[in-house]
Amino acid sequence: MDITFELALLVVGALLLAAAALSGWLRGTVLSISVLSVGAGIVLAQLDVVEVDPAAKSVLYVVELALVLTLFADGLVVENELLRNHWTPTALALVVAMPVTMVLLALAGRALFPALSWEEAFLLGAVLSPTDPVVTSSVVTDERLPPTVRHTLNLESGLNDGLALPFVLFFLALATGADSAGGEAARLAGEALAGAAVGVVLAIGGAWLLRRLPRGVEHRYLGIYALALAFLAFGIAEETGWANGLVAVFVAGIALAVVRHSVPAEVLEFNESLSALFQVITFTVFGALIVSVGWSGSTLRLALFVAFALLVARPAAVLLAFLPVREALPNKLFMAWFGPKGVASMLFALLVLGSTDVNRTLVFEIASATSRPERVLGLHFFNPAPVLKLVEVVRTGLTAPEVFDAAYGFAQRIGKEPIECNDTPGFVVNRILIPLLNDCVRVIDEARVSPEDVDRAMTFGANWPIGPCALIDLIGVDVHVHASEALWEALREPRMAPPPRLVRMKQAGALGRKTGRGFFEY
């Protein structure tokens, strides 16, 4: 995230002050603080106050920490008696509603976005299928609601956040070429069960130790003691490599509440306040990400998918799951509304965003689809082709030596300077040039330098024949952004991702020489 420490504190302070000041006025409107935070992130990004790099690990850490805190805080409020006596609605929602939601979203995604494979469509469904206690946190503690409704929303939302993650990882593995779907499914199911076991053991051990400490724990440290158990549960589960940390955290919260019978108010208040703090920060970051990542597809198709996800998929799945449950229809409709939305889906989306796909470039895909792949290679000319002499002769792992030699000789005969390279993302020049140009653009914002001075620095200081900003204008901002995105998707190196400034220029139609306006006027 491109922001100084001082400015970060200023922004976070203003956001928290606004959220706290408006919380009483907005009480009862469940999504209001969330919407306020997302809106604040969008505005701050549009004003260039903050810039969020989707490839930055800090983004994933913030979202993941918010989810850990939220799951643990909501797990603590699960009542022991309700856990035993009202398990059926939650069990049905987990067993029936979440998979049905996933399937409906996958079908809608595949229908509206034909470019998605079936694996990717189900990955999209898995990302959006869980409900989140972030948006129901003011509901599950509202005493005006029937206890079974509060309990069902809380337990179901927390558990399926954790249980949805194995589905996300499973379909992500399929989308990236996993060898065995059955083996992957068995492994991920085992991780969920192991995560639950870690949570239970730590909660029981922590409660046992708390009762046997010679002088006990001061009341002001009770919340910290409980939070330590949450962090231990997540850390142990994830570090082992065979347990699901999200499930471990939520189950630890439930188990601690059950073992202790009643959780001290200090613990609940401390964890809920900390959770609320990170929720505000996370939704603000997500709002900034919306601006940074942008959307280049059909707005109508996206709007239809969002409407289907919010108004059809989740409500239909939950109402189907609750058919055999004796509950008033208004209560069922109320519970059906909550999802899919919140921190878990953001986290899962970021996990997919940061994943490493199999590095197959377009040349290799064409080669593997022909009946004679040994005769396929790539000749990469540079724009403008009549002027620039370089040609990259790209061999795949299947290209025959005599075919490569013939292509190399052809490039020499037409007066070009060929170089040999393998079928890797960006080949040679773009692998070097694209991140270098991105760095130059980032300097404009990070060092507060004008595009004119950046170009003067590189032409007179590095002896470039043309400045980086002028070069991007010549190439086309949209072309450069597309190339950056392709490299970033293949390599997942932060320098490859297009800077937010370029993404905004593309969205605004400031594409360089072709439109008469880019970094400079033409």
Residue 217 sits in the same domain as residue 196: yes
pLDDT, residue 267, reads 67
State how far the Cα of 219 lies from the Cα of 221, in Å rounded to an integer.
Answer: 5
522 in a structural domain: no
Residue appearing with tokens 């009762």: 211
Residue 239 sits in the same domain as residue 380: no
Tell me the pLDDT band of 339, cut-offs 50, 70 and 90.
very low
Tell me which of 296, 331, 353 is where a domain ends. 353
How open is the CA angle 165-168-173, to the nearest 5 degrees? Answer: 125
Of 81-90, 268-277, 333-342, 496-505, minimum mean pLDDT range: 81-90
Q: Give the rounded distance of the alpha carbon of 480 from its chain centre.
A: 23
521 in a structural domain: no
Residue 189 sits in the same domain as residue 324: yes
Residue 286 sits in the same domain as residue 154: yes
150 in a structural domain: yes
520 in a structural domain: no
Structurally, the chain folds into a number of domains equal to: 3
Residue 418 sits in the same domain as residue 466: no
Tell me the pLDDT band of 358, cut-offs 50, 70 and 90.
very low
Determine how many CB atoms are found less than 10 A away from the CB of residue 300: 9
The CATH number that applies at residue 438 is 1.10.1040.10
- Dmax over CA atoms of the chain, in Å, equals 88
Q: pLDDT: is 262 or 476 the higher one?
A: 476
475 in a structural domain: yes
Integer angstrom CA distances of residue 104 from 99, 282, 439: 9, 28, 42
Nearest alpha-carbon partner for 196 in 257, 151, 252: 252
Determine how many CB atoms are found less than 10 A away from the CB of residue 146: 12
pLDDT, residue 215, reads 77
Residue 348 sits in the same domain as residue 369: no
Q: What is the mean pLDDT of residues 488-496?
A: 87
Q: What is the mean pLDDT of residues 373-384?
A: 81
Of 98-102, 133-137, 444-448, 486-490, minimum mean pLDDT range: 133-137
| pLDDT for residue 438 is more than 90 | yes
Burial 174-212 (b: 16+ CB within 10 A, else e): bbeebeeeeebbeebeebbebbbebbbbbbeebbeebee
pLDDT over 70 percentage in the chain: 73
Burial 343-375 (b: 16+ CB within 10 A, else e): bbbbbbbbbbbebeeeeebebbeebeeeeebee
φ, ψ dihedrals at 264, nearest 5°: -55, 145
498 in a structural domain: yes
Q: What is the mean pLDDT of residues 102-131?
A: 81
| pLDDT for residue 437 is more than 90 | yes
Here the tokens at position 430 are 């773009």
Residue 173 sits in the same domain as residue 54: yes
pLDDT over 90 percentage in the chain: 24
Which residue segment(s) compose the domain that 400 sits in?
362-422
Tell me which of 298, 332, 353 is where a domain ends. 353
